Amino acid sequence: MSARSEEIAAGLRRDDPEAWAISLYAPAALRAHVQVLAAFAHELRQISTRVSQPLAGEMRLQWWRDVLEKPGSGDGVSPLAEALLASVQQLRLPVAALVAMIDAHAHDLYGEAFADEAALESYCGASDAALLRLTTLVLAQGGDPGGAGICGHAGMAAGILRVAGRFGPAMLENIEAPLQLAQVHLRAAEAGIATLDPAARPALVGLGLVKARLRKWQRGRGVEISPLARLAQLWLYARRLP
């Protein structure tokens, strides 16, 4: 592992230990690429917490667009940006999907409730589902492992939980029965896992946490689970993957 990869892995472990733990289920040879994607997603999600005005957040998102769409044109490219560009080149990852992730997180800056289920689905599809899909592409070493629809369902379930935990129920106030909606998408994702290329299945280990959080939500106890419980749920789910 290069010094840059070690730096990104250490930062991910510090800033997003859940994503870091999930990345450990990827093969060692591809783990650095998985961690780069996870760190990129974390960076996008954190922008709204680091700015006091939406315009500042929009400027940061535009910086990331320029990194991807105009490589070499920006000033002060970070180690994460360099690593992301390297992963894109080495594994032929679709830049359009990464830019769509950036665009989706502009919604975070304004704290507005999703207008309807279609708006929520668009957001989760471009953010959480896209991350899962890109991770499956990494694990397939740039090939197509199938399962785009599975990632869509899994990302919808995970995204609803992330929104509920991060922004609170107000952002889902226009969505009828969001808990039940997440459960429907989780079941659809799990029903299709066996059709996914086995090499790409570790990308969906995080569904173990989705299931655990949905159980808590159903009991009216929020969506957060303890760090130790997260590790246990990931281990158990990984063992049960087909």
Question: What pLDDT is recorded for position 242?
Answer: 84
Question: What pLDDT is recorded for position 117?
Answer: 96
Contacts within 8 Å (CB) and 24+ apart, 99-105: 99/65, 99/68, 99/69, 100/126, 100/130, 101/40, 101/41, 101/44, 101/126, 101/127, 101/130, 101/131, 102/44, 102/61, 102/64, 102/65, 102/68, 103/61, 104/130, 105/44, 105/45, 105/47, 105/48, 105/61
Per-residue pLDDT of the chain (242 residues; tens, 9 = 90+): 688 999 999 999 999 999 999 999 999 999 999 999 999 999 999 999 999 999 999 999 999 999 999 887 655 679 999 999 999 999 999 999 999 999 999 999 998 999 999 999 999 999 999 999 999 999 999 889 999 999 999 999 999 999 999 998 899 999 999 999 999 999 999 999 999 999 999 999 999 999 999 999 999 888 899 999 999 999 999 999 98
What three-state secondary structure class fits 9? helix
Rounded to a whole number, what is the largest CA-CA distance in the chain?
51
Q: How far is CA 16 from the centre of its chain?
A: 11
> What gap in Å lies between CA 21 and CA 41, rounded to an integer?
15
Domain ranges within the chain, ordered by starting residue = 3-240
Question: What pLDDT is recorded for position 70?
Answer: 85
Q: List, in order, residues 6 or more apart from 30 with CB less than 8 Å away.
A: 138, 139, 141
* CATH level 3 topology of 3-240: Farnesyl Diphosphate Synthase (1.10.600)
